Structure 1
Amino acid sequence: MDEDRSEPAAPVVADDGLLLPGDLTSVGAYVDASLADSTRQAYARDLAAWATWCRSRSLPAELPADPLSVAAWLAAMADDGHSPRYVARRLSALNDAHRSRGLPPPGDSEGVRRTLTGIRRTAVRSGYLPRRARAVDTATVRALVEDLPDTLAGARDRCLILVGFALGLRASDLCGLRIEDVVPAGHGGLDVLLRYSKTDQEGAGETLALAEGVRETTCPVRAVRAWRAALAGQGVTAGPLFRSVGKGSPPRLGAAPLTTRSVDLVLRRAAERAGVSPEGLSPHSLRRGFATTAYAQGVPEKEISRTGRWRSLVVRSYDASSRWADPASGSLGL
């Protein structure tokens, strides 16, 4: 048998030293892991859109991108009726692709920056208002959950809506919750661990206080206990807290967590059943509703911002063990 005479891969020169091929094997994977899955997928679609636009004009789509071409791309999207937020996000994807390769991002170009500013100002002068989720109040949340069916899916949906509102959670936060991360605490409530979130991509984690409600049908703690009991009845005691429920008889539980799209569908189905207007309704309505309702009830801003993890509202440097001193989730009238 002939010997394998293939030459070893050449080392990569890095400054005055050498990087061996194996040294770079995991770099790409770790760079990918620096972004949330949803962000990485959105950016991939945005870069594909950039490449398609370039091909339609026989322009090179390779990086680094020509700033003049990028400015023309942004203008074309605005001319097609896309919102400034949509245009800015696509530019963010292109900027990130450049930064991850050590290239200057086109968004730093004065021409590109001014083009985006002009797009925003033109939209405002034309009467454009950014779409915002409608903030739901406690009465609306009661309506959403009180007519839910007494089924496995109904127990899940009740728990999801009440916990999302009581703690001001994002849809992605709800999808990330695990059964083992919700544990009994003092005051009859539950400690809820968020392992990671949009503002905690590195997973430092934060524990939130979920207090009991004043009404049995809308108490988030009772809703969690009922849903966990239903899960245990199906032999599920660990893993994603919120998961799919099949339509068969008996219904089968999925193993994977719900997606943010599924959270939106849960909310819209509940609204349709309760006769609640779907206008402006989205999972973020629960988060906005938490903040506005808690503020109206006189909850201190530092507690609202700490529970909702809004760093911009107040300084949150006090001891996290104080979360049960005056928990926002216990002041919503649920």
Structure 2
Amino acid sequence: MGKHKASTSRGGRGKGARGSRGRPRSTSLRSQTRATRATTESQASQQPTGPGVIEPSLGDGPEIAQQATTSHSLQPPTSHQSSDGEVPPTRTRGRGQPNTNTRMPMADLEGETYRLLSKSIAEGTKVCYQGAVNSFQNFRIQYNLDTSWPASTEQVMAFIAQLSLNGLAASTVTQRIAALSYLHNMYEWQDPTKHFLIKKMQEGCRRGPKRKDSRLPITLALLSKLLPTLNNVCSSFYEACLFQAAFLLAFYGFLRVGEFTARGRLGDTKKIIQLQDIQVGNGPLRTMLVKIRYSKTDQYGSSTTLSIKENGILGGCPVVAMIRFLDLRRKNSGPLFCHINGLPLTRYQFGAVVKKALRSTGADIDQYGTHSFRIGAATTAALNGVPPDKIKEMGRWQSETYRSYVRI
């Protein structure tokens, strides 16, 4: 492993009724309203009007939250009735200069309210929460349950039971219930996830058998086999250089895939590593500085700068690979890793090329994932005698979770 330093720059509806024997009374799922195919008029009357960031997905099935001008944000209402009966005009103003007007139109205030609520959680969390809400709605449709909101305690309990029987990890169950809680609170509905029985079911999930992460590490030895295959796996010399630089940076930088790849071709790319975030020094052993704008443990963009030194490994040096890629890349600003047409490298594309390269080496592709670079970096560091506290610092872990990444 090359030397690597990280420095942070500051920049239900009440308690369930109980029977005569003190046991929780269970409401039969089959006895609930079978209203999954209501008329358009009845669905319209149920449509919520609160400032939610996650869509409830009413009606015939799940809906993905509609995108506004900003990814995953809600559009403010088109009109609002004022106290004097007139609809105040909506206007936009720059955020650079303070507004000295003490009375702004209500539309501006509500628009700003929506914006702040939309920014209250990370983009990735919004996507996960929307998927969880869609999953819950699909569950209700599958069992012919009432699809109106707010959800009942009994439905959420049954949903947790299904997730558990399907073998989902306790952390996944917790995430999906958190999404339902978030949705109900954003629309000011009574939150069924706070019910005593639901809390106990979640505790039961956590006390169950732990699911072991079966992903294998991409160690330095395996990485040295993957890099030469990219000349055959990739469609052009440019693409081969791009993925060689990405593979090496992911490994030596202990990177999470979301820190250097976009969610989709048209997704928000402002939070991933940009071209201007890379600086390479001069000298016999050059040092590369890499600015990590946002990460899982840095939701507010304080940023962290990594220092990666040239290691002298022929065909396996992250600094040399990066210089070669930058010589080919267009000089326009934007995401660091982009294709020759300017579109950003996506997580799907990165994962697909990883699997193709692994297949070329004869490895079992089902045992590896994009996170295998981070697992491999921690494992290789431990094999080279790097102290645990240093591994934790290099991987920017803020808890003892890093121990699970060391596979020795």
Residues 246-304 of structure 1 show CA distances to partners (whole Å, capped at 9, x for unaligned) of: xxxxxxx2433222222211211211223333132111111111112112212233332
2:394 to 307, 313, 331: 307
Partner of 2:317: 219
AA of the residue aligned to 2:336: L
Q: Does 1:61 align with 2:148?
A: yes
Q: State the distance in 1 between where 2:127 and 2:342 align.
A: 22
The structure-2 alpha-carbon separation of the partners of 1:106 and 1:308, relative to structure 1 and needing over 3 Å to count, comes to: farther
Contact 2:217 2:372 in 1 (8 A): yes
Matched, 1:89 2:171: no
Structure ranking higher in helix proportion: 1
1:147 aligned counterpart, secondary structure: helix
CA contact (8 A) 1:301 1:313 kept: no
Pair 90,178 (structure 1): closer, same or farther in 2 beyond 3 Å: same
Q: What amino acid sits opposite 1:89 in the alignment? A: Q
Distance in 2 of aligned mates of 1:282 and 1:198: 18
The CA distance in 2 between the partners of 1:53 and 1:201, in whole Å, is 31
2:222 is matched with which residue: 125, 140, 157? Answer: 140
Which letter maps to 1:179? L
Q: 1:177 to 1:226 in 2, by over 3 A?
A: same
The 5 Å alignment of 1:243-282 reads 243-244=338-339, 253-282=340-369
Give the equivalent residue in structure 2 for 1:205: 303
Matched, 1:193 2:259: no
Q: Which residue of 1 aligns with 2:245?
A: 159
Alpha-carbon distance change, 45 to 129 in structure 1, aligned in 2, over 3 angstroms: closer
Q: How far is 1:104 from its partner?
A: 6.3
What's the counterpart of residue 331 of structure 2?
236
Matches of 1:113 and 1:169, distance apart in 2: 34
Structure 1 residues 256-265 or 282-291, which shifts more? 256-265
Over the matched positions of the two proteins, sequence identity in percent amounts to: 24
CA distance 1:286–1:111, shift in 2 (3 Å): same
CA distance in 2, matches of 1:88, 1:69: 16
- CA–CA distance in structure 2, aligned partners of residues 139 and 82 of structure 1: 33
Distance in structure 2 (CA, Å) of the matches to 1:299 and 1:276: 27
Q: Taking structure 2 as the reference length, what is the TM-score of the superposition?
A: 0.64
Task: Quote how far apart the aligned CAs of 1:163 are.
Answer: 0.5
SS in 2 for 1:203: coil
Deviates most, 180-189 or 49-58: 49-58
CA distance in 1, matches of 2:294, 2:273: 9
* Kept after mapping to 2: 8 A contact 1:216/1:222: no
Q: How do 1:24-35 and structure 2 match up within 5 A?
A: 24-35=110-121
Aligned partner of 2:159 in structure 1 is: 73
**Which residue identity is paired with 2:326?**
R
One-letter amino acid of the structure 2 residue matched with residue 257 of structure 1: P
User: Residue in 2 aligned with 1:46?
Assistant: 132
Task: Give the aligned CA root-mean-square deviation in angstroms.
Answer: 2.8
Equivalents in 1 of 2:191, 2:310: separation in Å? Answer: 49
Separation in 1, partners of 2:396, 2:193? 29
Work out the number of aligned pairs and report it.
Answer: 287
Equivalent residue, structure 1, for 2:11: none
One-letter code aligned to 1:262: Q
CA shift at 1:173, angstroms? 0.9
Q: Is 1:191–1:209's contact at 8 Å kept on the other side of the alignment?
A: yes
Cα distance in structure 2, aligned partners of 1:76 and 1:257: 38
Q: Secondary structure at the match of 2:115?
A: helix
2:315 is paired with a residue of what secondary structure?
helix
State the distance in 1 between where 2:333 and 2:314 align.
26
Q: Does 1:172 align with 2:240?
A: no
Kindly provide the amino acid, as one letter, of the partner of residue 273 in structure 2. Answer: L
Letter in 1 for 2:337: F
SS of residue matched to 2:290: strand
- Name the structure 1 match of 2:85: 7
**Residues 68 and 112 of structure 1 are in contact (CA less than 8 Å); yes or no, is this contact kept in structure 2?**
no
- Cα deviation, residue 81, structure 1: 4.7
Alpha-carbon distance in 2 for matches of 1:184, 1:69: 56
Q: Secondary structure at the match of 1:191?
A: strand
Deviation at 1:80?
4.3
Task: Tell whether the 8 Å contact from 1:54 to 1:61 is kept in structure 2 after alignment.
Answer: no
Measured in 1, the distance between the counterparts of 2:289 and 2:152 equals: 51
Give how far 1:82 is off.
4.2
Moved more, 186-195 or 48-57: 48-57
**Letter matched to residue 67 of structure 1:** T
Contact 1:75 1:119 (8 Å CA) reproduced: no
Shift of 1:311: 1.1
1:299, 1:104 → 2: CA distance?
51
